[in-house]
C-alpha cells in the first residue's frame, strides 16, 4: 500500500511540476565502486521518462531509481574501472507548496447573473491569501444505517491532507486516513496507531522526520541489511561531520526468511508460513523480496510472480519455469494475530578524518505481551515455561462434542454411533508433521480424520494441538570502521553481537548470545594504460547463536557452498578476490574461499568473466568448484552472444554436479532481435538430469524446452507482449512424463481511423489447485450478499440477503492446467464513409482449470466430468445501430455463458444461461423519449451430488418505457413490464407470469441538491397453483405482490458540507415490510 501511495504521490508531484515549474537536462558521470549499490546524483526531482543510463555507449538499466531524491540503486556486478553516464531532466523551479481542491476557491454559480463579472484570478488569490504556508484538504464523514430487522450501525471516516511550510526551510507533508471506522455510542478518541493510514514528514537541510506508516531501512553494509514496515517516528539528522538516525515504532508484522524447494513443473501457489510453520497468517503488503535461483524477482502478472497477501501464497509466471531443484528464497513480514512488536533503533555515523569513518548502532525487536492477561492460563503456562515454544492442547472434554478418543486417535462421530467413549470438542491446527487430514462431508461439514499413509503426496496435515511461541526479544549491537591507507589501500572491520531471549516472561534468563566479526583489506583500482587491477581479502567469523535481522548472505549461499543447512554451528570464512579489467574488452574476477563450518572444511574456487565490448558483448563464463571430504560440488555456466546489427544469436551451456543428489546439464541456443519498439527472442534448451528423485543410477530424465518472447510497443496499430514456453519432460518408468505450455499473450490493435478494434489478453499456467468448500454465515437480513433457499438447498445471490460466504480449503492439492483471459472485438462501420452507423461488438471472458486441456470439454462441459476444476465462458455479441437522430437507436444482443464449478470435493455444479434481446430507443419529441425492449432466456442448473438443485427455466419478458423532461427541474420515466417463465424442477412443471409498473423521478433542488425516487410494483402468479418456484424465475421476484421503493436525498448545506439520506422499503413473500435507512454527513476540509 505504501509503495502504491508513494507512486501516486510522486506522479502527482510531477504533474504539479509540469504545470508550475521549468526543467533542465543534466548529465552526470559516475564510476562504479566495489561493494557499493547506492549512487547519488547531483540533482533531485527527475522526470522518470527522461532518464537515460549508458555504459560504453550502450543503454543499461539499474536495479531501481529514486526519482524524488535522485538516487540510483545498482548492485555491483560491474567492473570497478567502468563508469556510467546518466542523462536526465530535472525540475529547476520550486514546486508549488500548496496543493488541494482549488475549486473550493471559485465563486458560487449564479445561473441568474445577467452581467458577466470582471475576470478574477482565483488561483492567484489563493496563493496570496495563504502566503505559501500551510494548506489542508480532505473529507470527514459520519454514516448511520438503521433497519426494521433490528440491525443498525454507526460508522465514519476521515481523510485529511496537510502540506506547506512551517518555518524557514521546514516543510511539512501529512496524510491521515481512516475509512469505515466504527463509532461507539459514548464517542471515541483514536490513538495514532488505530488510524488506517498515517504519514507525516518534516524536511529540513539538517534533519528529517517521518511519522506514521513508514518503511524503515538500515542498509549500512551487506551484513547490516534491515528493512521493516512500522508505525512510529523515524528521525535523521546531520551536523558537520556527524549524522545519525533514531527510530521508535511498533509493528504488527514479524520478519521471516523462508527457503522453498520448487516442485517440478508447478508454478505455484507456494505457501508462506510463520516461524511456527503455521499457514494461518497474512502478509504485509509490499514487504516481500523474492529470489529465484539467486536472481531478484519483480512482482506483477507481466513480470515474475504474483502474490496473495491475505492467503500468504505466491505463484510464479511463465517468465521463469520452476524445476524440482529451483531455489526459492523469500523475505517477508507476516501477521499471525499473536503479538505485536516494539522496534527501536539508533545509528551514529562520524567522519573523524578524511581517512577514518565509523558507524555504530543498535536495534531491538521485542514482542508486546500486554495482550495477555497475567491471570490467564496461557500467560501462566508461558511464564512457567523453560523454552520459547509451548504446546496447547486443542481437545476439551465435552459431552456434546463430535469426537471420541480411541487410544490416542480422535475419531469423528457426530451421530454418536459409538457411546462407550468420552466425547471431545477438538480444534485442529495445521502441522507439516501432523497425522490428521481435513475432510468435507456431503453436507458441507468440515471434520478431521486420522491419516496413517506414509506417502503424504500433496496433502495438508493437521494436529489436535497448537504450538505457541512465547513473547521474544532480540537485540543487535554493531560497529563498523574503515580506514584508508593512502589512495589505494583501505582497511575495514565490522563487529556485531546479537542477544535473543525466546521467552521474556519466564524470567529464566535463557537468552542466547552470538557474534559476527569481519575484517577486510582492499587494494583499490591500480590502473595502467588499458588494464585495471583490484585485490581484496576478508575474513568472516559467525557464531552459531548469532541471530540475523535480515538477509546477510548470498541468496544461494547454501547451494554454492553445497550445504544442507546453515546457522546451526560456528562458521569461519576466508575469501580472496582478484579483479582484472581490460578497457573496452572484458572484466574478470578470480575468487578463492575457504569455509570451516563445524567439523567440515570446504574450499571454493570461482571464476567470472564477461566481455564488455565488440561483437561478443555480453558473452560471459562462470565456473566454481567446492571441494571437501564429504563430496564435491561443481557449477559451470557459459553464454556466448554475437551481435550483428539488429540480430544477436546466442548459445548457452550449464552444468551442475552435486555428490549423489544432483547432476544435470543444459545445452541451448537461440536468436534475439531488437529494433526500435520491437524485440523478439527465440530459444531452445535441452536439459538432461542424471539423478532425479528416486530413479536408479542408470536412469535419467530429459527436458526439452522451447520459448518465444515477442514485444511490440507501437503507439498505433498492433501492440504485442507475448511469452510462450513449451516443456516436454520424459522420465523413466517410475514417474509420469510432463507435457504442458506456459505463457502469457497480450495483443491489441487500434487506430483512430480504423473501424476495427481488437484486444486479447490470455495466459496459461500449470499450478496446484486446492479443492475447497464454500461455507455461508448469517450476519443479518440486509447485511449479507446471499439468501438461503430451503426448497433447493442452495444459496442465491441477493443484495438483501443475510449470508456472507467464505471458503474452506480441503488441504488436497491437484496439478492443474489453467487457461484464463478475455477477448474484445469491435467493428465500427460509421468510420467508413458512406456506411450506416452500425457498430458490432463481441466480448468473451473465459477461465479453465483441469488436469489436462480438452477443447471439447472447454467448449461444452458436462456436469459429470470429474477431472475439471472449473470451466467458465461468458460471451456477449451486440449489434448497435444509431439512426440519423442521436436518440434513435436499435440494439440487438445475444449472451451465452456456462460455469462448471468442480472445486467442491463433494461434486460438480453446472450453470448454463442463454439470453437474446432487442432494445429500441425512439425520440417522440424534444423532451419525450420511448424505449421498447424484450428478451427471451433459458437457464439450466445441474448438480451431480445434490439432485434437488436441478432445474431449468425458459421465458420471455418485455418492457415499454417513456422518459420525460420538463422545463423545470424534474426528470422522470414510467415503465410497464410483462412476461412469463416456464420450466421444470423436482418432478413438477411450472408456468408463471407477471405484470408490473415502475416509476423513476429525479427533482433538482436548485444548485444545492436533488431528490431521487424509484417505485416498483409487480404482481406475479403461477397457473398450476404451486407456491415454490426456482429462484431464477420471474427475474428473481416472488409469487404475489412485489413492492420496492427507494428514495435518496443529496443536499449541500454549504459549498463544503453535504448531507445524504436514503430510505429503502421492500414488501413481498420473501421480505415482509423491510425498511432500511442510511444517512451520511460529509465535510470537505
1029-1042 pLDDT, tens digit each: 899 999 999 999 99
Q: Which residues contact 231 (CB under 8 A, 6 or more apart)?
A: 192, 193, 198, 212, 213, 214, 249, 250, 251
Least confident of 98-102, 351-355, 846-850: 98-102
The yes-or-no verdict on residue 806 having pLDDT over 80 is: no
The CA distance from 208 to 717, in Å, is 49
| Band of pLDDT at residue 145, cut at 50, 70 and 90 | low
The pLDDT confidence band at residue 459, using thresholds 50, 70 and 90, is confident
Strand pairing class (647-658; 1009-1022): unpaired
Q: How far is CA 346 from the centre of its chain?
A: 32
Same domain, 10 and 86: yes
CA angle 787, 789, 791 (to 5 degrees): 175
Helices (H), 36-169: 122-130
pLDDT, tens digit, 9 for 90 and up, residues 182-194: 333 333 333 444 4
98-112, 376-390, 609-623, 683-697: which has the minimum mean pLDDT? Answer: 98-112
Q: Which of 307, 349, 353, 352 is nearest to 331 (CA)?
A: 307
Interval 385-407: pLDDT, tens: 665 567 888 899 988 899 999 88
At residue 50, φ and ψ (nearest 5 deg) are -90, -15
Identify the DSSP state of 632: -
Helix or strand or coil: residue 16? helix
With a cut of 50, say whether residue 979 has pLDDT above it.
Answer: yes
Residue 18 confidence class, pLDDT cut points 50, 70, 90? very low
Are 490 and 522 spatial neighbours (Cβ–Cβ below 8 Å)? yes
> Which pLDDT score, from 0 to 100, does residue 94 have?
44
Predicted confidence (pLDDT) at residue 44 exceeds the cutoff of 80: no
Average pLDDT score over residue span 849-875: 85
The last residue of one of the domains, among 336, 360, 375, is 336
Residue 416 falls in which region: left (phi positive, over 0), alpha (psi -120 to 50) or beta: left
Range of the domain at 8: 2-91
Q: 544: closest CA among 610, 597, 602?
A: 597
Q: C-alpha grid cell for residue 1065?
A: 422499503
Structural domain includes residue 267: yes
Burial of 885: CB neighbours in 10 Å, binned 0-12, 13-18, 19+: exposed
Nearest CA to 930 among 964, 972, 884? 964
Instruction: Name the pLDDT band for 511 (thresholds 50, 70, 90).
Output: confident
Question: For 461, phi and psi rounded to 5 degrees?
Answer: -120, 160
Which range, 794-798, 843-847, 948-952, is most confident?
843-847
Contact 651, 644 (CB under 8 A): no
Confidence band of 1058 (pLDDT split at 50, 70, 90): confident
What is the count of structural domains for the chain? 3
Q: Determine the Cα–Cα distance for residues 920 and 883; give it in Å rounded to an integer.
A: 11
Lowest mean pLDDT among 9-23, 394-408, 501-515: 9-23
Q: Which of 208, 213, 131, 217 is nearest to 175 (CA)?
A: 213
In the predicted structure, residue 666 carries a pLDDT above the cut 60 = yes
| Lowest mean pLDDT across 398-402, 540-544, 607-611 | 398-402
Residue 161 in any domain: the answer is no
The verdict on residue 66 lying in a domain is yes
pLDDT of 104 strictly over 70: no
Measured distance CA(560)–CA(662) in Å, rounded: 13
Length of the chain as a residue count: 1085
pLDDT bin (cut points 50, 70, 90) of residue 32 is confident
Least confident of 178-192, 485-499, 588-602: 178-192
End position of a domain, from candidates 91, 121, 152 = 91
pLDDT confidence of residue 17: 43
Placement of cell 412476461 in the chain: 979
pLDDT at residue 103 tops 70: no
Closest CA to 637 of 654, 617, 658, 625: 654
**Same domain, yes or no, for 87 and 6?**
yes
Q: Which three cell numbers stand for residue 585?
A: 574488452
Cα angle, residue 1064 at apex, residues 1063 and 1067 outer, rounded to 5°: 145
Percentage of residues in the chain having pLDDT higher than 90: 36
pTM of the model: 0.75
Residue ranges in 561-660 assigned as alpha helix (H): none
Q: Average per-residue pLDDT in the chain?
A: 82
**Average pLDDT, stretch 207-217?**
86
Paired with 774 in beta bridges are 807
In a domain, residue 53? The reply is yes
Is 899 a member of any domain?
A: no
> Which of 607-611, 763-767, 1048-1052 is predicted most confidently?
607-611
- 3-state per-residue secondary structure call for 862-878: CCCCCCEEEEEEEEEEE
Is-contact 1032 1051, C-beta < 8 A? no
Domain-embedded: residue 151: no
Alpha-carbon distances of 929 from 646, 925, 963, 1000, 1012, rounded to whole Å? 61, 7, 5, 14, 19
Tell me, rounded to whole angstroms, the distance of Cα 586 from its chain centroid.
Answer: 40
Evaluate whether residue 67 is within a structural domain.
Answer: yes
The Cα–Cα gap between 830 and 777 comes to: 52
Q: What is the mean pLDDT of residues 239-246?
A: 89
Question: Residue 348 has what pLDDT?
Answer: 93
| Final residue before a domain boundary, out of 91, 115, 134 | 91
Q: Is the peptide bond before 166 cis (omega within 30 degrees of 0)?
A: no
Residue 539 lies in a domain: no
From 426, 443, 423, select the one nearest 435 (Cα to Cα): 426
Q: Which three cell numbers stand for residue 435?
A: 497425522
Amino acid at each position: 500500500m505504501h509503495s502504491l501511495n508513494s507512486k501516486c504521490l510522486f506522479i502527482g508531484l510531477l504533474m504539479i511540476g509540469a504545470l508550475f515549474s521549468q526543467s533542465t537536462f543534466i548529465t552526470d558521470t559516475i564510476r562504479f565502486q566495489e561493494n557499493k549499490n547506492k549512487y547519488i546524483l547531483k540533482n533531485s526531482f527527475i522526470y522518470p521518462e527522461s532518464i537515460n543510463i549508458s555504459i560504453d555507449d550502450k543503454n543499461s538499466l539499474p536495479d531501481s531509481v529514486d526519482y524524488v531524491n535522485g538516487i540510483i540503486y545498482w548492485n555491483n556486478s560491474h567492473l570497478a574501472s567502468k563508469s556510467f553516464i546518466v542523462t536526465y531532466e530535472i525540475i529547476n523551479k520550486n514546486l508549488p507548496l500548496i496543493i488541494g481542491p482549488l475549486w473550493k476557491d471559485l465563486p458560487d454559480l449564479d445561473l441568474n447573473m445577467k452581467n458577466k463579472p470582471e475576470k478574477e484570478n482565483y488561483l492567484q488569490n489563493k496563493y496570496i491569501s495563504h502566503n505559501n504556508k500551510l494548506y489542508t484538504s480532505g473529507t470527514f464523514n459520519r454514516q448511520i444505517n438503521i433497519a426494521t430487522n433490528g440491525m443498525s450501525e454507526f460508522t465514519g471516516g476521515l481523510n485529511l491532507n496537510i502540506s506547506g511550510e512551517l518555518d524557514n526551510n521546514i516543510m511539512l507533508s501529512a496524510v491521515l486516513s481512516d475509512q469505515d471506522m466504527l463509532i461507539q455510542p459514548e464517542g471515541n478518541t483514536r490513538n495514532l496507531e488505530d488510524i488506517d493510514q498515517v504519514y507525516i514528514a518534516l524536511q529540513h537541510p539538517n534533519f528529517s522526520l517521518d511519522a506514521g506508516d513508514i518503511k524503515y531501512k538500515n542498509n549500512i553494509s551487506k551484513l547490516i541489511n534491515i528493512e521493516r514496515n512500522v508505525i512510529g517516528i523515524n528521525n535523521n539528522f546531520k551536523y558537520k561531520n556527524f549524522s545519525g538516525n533514531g527510530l521508535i515504532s511498533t509493528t504488527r508484522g514479524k520478519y521471516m526468511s523462508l527457503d522453498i524447494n520448487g516442485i517440478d513443473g508447478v508454478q505455484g501457489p507456494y505457501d508462506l508460513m510463520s516461524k511456527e510453520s503455521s499457514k494461518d497468517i497474512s502478509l504485509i503488503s509490499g514487504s516481500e523480496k523474492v529470489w529465484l535461483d539467486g536472481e531478484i524477482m519483480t512482482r506483477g502478472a507481466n513480470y515474475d510472480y504474483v502474490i496473495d497477501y491475505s492467503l500468504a501464497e505466491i505463484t510464479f509466471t511463465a517468465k521463469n519455469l520452476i524445476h524440482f531443484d529451483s531455489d526459492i528464497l523469500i523475505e517477508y513480514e507476516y501477521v499471525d494475530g499473536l503479538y505485536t512488536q516494539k522496534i527501536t533503533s539508533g545509528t551514529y555515523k562520524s567522519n573523524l578524518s578524511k581517512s577514518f569513518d565509523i558507524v555504530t548502532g543498535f536495534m531491538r525487536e521485542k514482542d508486546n505481551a500486554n495482550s495477555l492477561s497475567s491471570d490467564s492460563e496461557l500467560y501462566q503456562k508461558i511464564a512457567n515455561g523453560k523454552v520459547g515454544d509451548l504446546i496447547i492442547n486443542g481437545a476439551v472434554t465435552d459431552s456434546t462434542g463430535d469426537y471420541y478418543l480411541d487410544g490416542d486417535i480422535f475419531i469423528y462421530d457426530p451421530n454418536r454411533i459409538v457411546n462407550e467413549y468420552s466425547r471431545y470438542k477438538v480444534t485442529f491446527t495445521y502441522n507439516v508433521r501432523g497425522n490428521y487430514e481435513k475432510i468435507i462431508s456431503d453436507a458441507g461439514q468440515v471434520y478431521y480424520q486420522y491419516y496413517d499413509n506414509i506417502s503424504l503426496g500433496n496433502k495438508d496435515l493437521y494436529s489436535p494441538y497448537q504450538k505457541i511461541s512465547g513473547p521474544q526479544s532480540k537485540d543487535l549491537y554493531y560497529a563498523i570502521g574503515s580506514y584508508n591507507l593512502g589512495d589505494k589501500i583501505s582497511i575495514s572491520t565490522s563487529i556485531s553481537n546479537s542477544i535473543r531471549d525466546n521467552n521474556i516472561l519466564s524470567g529464566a534468563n535463557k537468552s542466547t548470545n552470538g557474534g559476527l566479526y569481519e575484517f577486510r583489506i582492499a587494494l583499490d583500482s591500480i590502473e595502467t594504460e588499458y588494464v585495471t587491477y583490484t585485490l581484496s581479502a576478508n575474513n568472516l567469523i559467525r557464531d552459531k547463536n548469532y541471530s540475523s535481522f535480515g538477509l546477510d548472505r548470498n541468496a544461494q549461499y547454501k547451494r554454492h557452498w553445497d550445504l544442507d543447512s546453515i546457522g546451526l554451528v560456528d562458521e569461519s570464512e576466508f575469501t580472496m578476490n582478484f579483479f582484472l579489467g581490460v578497457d573496452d574488452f572484458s572484466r574478470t574476477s578470480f575468487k578463492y574461499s575457504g569455509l570451516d563450518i563445524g567439523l567440515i572444511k570446504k574450499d571454493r574456487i570461482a571464476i567470472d568473466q564477461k566481455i564488455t565490448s565488440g561483437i561478443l558483448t555480453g558473452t560471459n563464463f562462470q565456473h566454481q568448484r567446492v571441494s571437501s571430504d564429504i563430496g564435491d560440488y561443481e557449477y559451470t555456466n557459459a553464454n556466448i552472444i554475437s551481435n550483428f546489427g539488429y540480430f544477436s544469436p546466442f548459445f548457452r551451456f550449464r552444468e551442475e554436479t552435486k555428490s549423489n543428489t544432483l547432476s544435470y546439464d543444459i545445452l541451448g541456443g537461440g536468436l534475439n532481435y531488437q529494433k526500435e519498439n520491437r524485440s523478439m527472442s527465440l530459444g531452445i534448451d535441452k536439459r538432461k538430469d542424471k539423478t532425479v528423485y528416486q530413479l536408479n543410477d542408470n536412469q535419467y530424465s530429459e527436458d526439452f524446452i522451447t520459448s518465444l518472447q515477442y514485444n511490440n510497443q507501437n503507439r498505433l496499430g498492433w501492440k504485442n507482449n507475448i511469452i510462450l514456453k513449451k516443456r516436454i519432460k520424459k522420465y523413466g518408468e517410475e514417474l509420469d512424463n510432463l507435457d504442458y505450455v506456459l505463457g502469457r499473450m497480450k495483443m491489441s490493435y487500434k487506430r483512430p481511423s480504423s473501424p476495427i478494434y481488437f484486444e486479447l489478453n490470455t495466459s496459461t499456467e500449470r499450478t496446484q489447485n486446492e479443492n475447497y468448500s464454500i461455507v455461508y454465515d448469517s450476519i443479518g437480513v440486509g447485511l449479507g450478499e446471499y439468501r438461503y433457499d430451503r426448497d433447493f438447498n442452495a444459496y442465491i445471490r441477493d443484495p438483501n440477503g443475510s449470508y456472507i460466504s467464505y471458503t474452506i480449503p480441503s488441504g488436497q492439492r491437484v496439478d492443474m492446467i489453467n487457461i484464463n483471459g478475455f477477448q474484445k472485438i469491435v467493428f465500427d462501420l460509421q468510420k467508413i464513409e458512406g456506411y450506416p452507423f452500425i457498430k458490432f461488438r463481441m466480448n468473451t471472458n473465459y477461465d479453465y482449470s483441469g488436469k489436462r486441456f480438452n477443447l471439447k470439454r472447454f467448449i461444452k462441459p458436462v456436469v459429470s466430468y470429474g477431472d475439471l476444476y472449473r470451466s467458465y465462458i461468458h460471451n456477449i455479441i451486440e449489434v448497435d445501430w444509431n439512426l440519423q437522430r442521436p436518440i434513435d437507436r436499435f440494439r440487438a444482443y445475444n449472451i451465452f455463458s456456462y460455469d462448471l464449478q468442480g472445486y467442491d470435493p463433494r461434486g460438480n455444479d453446472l450453470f448454463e444461461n442463454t439470453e437474446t434481446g432487442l432494445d429500441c430507443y425512439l425520440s417522440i419529441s424534444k423532451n419525450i423519449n420511448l424505449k421498447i425492449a424484450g428478451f427471451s432466456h433459458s437457464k439450466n442448473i445441474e448438480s451431480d451430488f445434490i439432485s434437488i438443485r436441478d432445474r431449468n427455466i425458459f421465458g420471455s419478458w418485455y418492457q415499454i418505457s417513456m422518459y420525460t423532461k420538463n422545463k423545470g427541474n424534474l426528470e422522470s420515466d414510467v415503465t410497464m413490464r410483462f412476461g412469463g417463465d416456464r420450466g421444470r424442477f423436482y418432478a413438477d412443471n411450472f408456468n408463471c407470469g407477471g405484470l408490473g409498473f415502475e416509476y423513476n423521478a429525479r427533482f433538482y433542488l436548485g444548485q444545492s441538491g436533488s431528490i431521487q425516487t424509484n417505485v416498483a410494483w409487480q404482481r406475479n402468479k403461477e397457473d398450476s397453483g404451486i407456491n415454490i418456484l426456482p429462484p431464477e424465475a420471474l427475474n428473481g421476484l416472488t409469487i404475489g405482490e412485489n413492492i420496492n421503493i427507494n428514495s435518496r436525498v443529496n443536499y449541500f448545506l454549504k459549498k463544503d458540507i453535504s448531507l445524504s439520506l436514503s430510505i429503502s422499503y421492500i414488501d413481498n413473500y420473501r421480505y415482509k415490510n423491510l425498511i432500511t435507512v442510511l444517512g451520511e454527513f460529509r465535510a470537505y476540509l
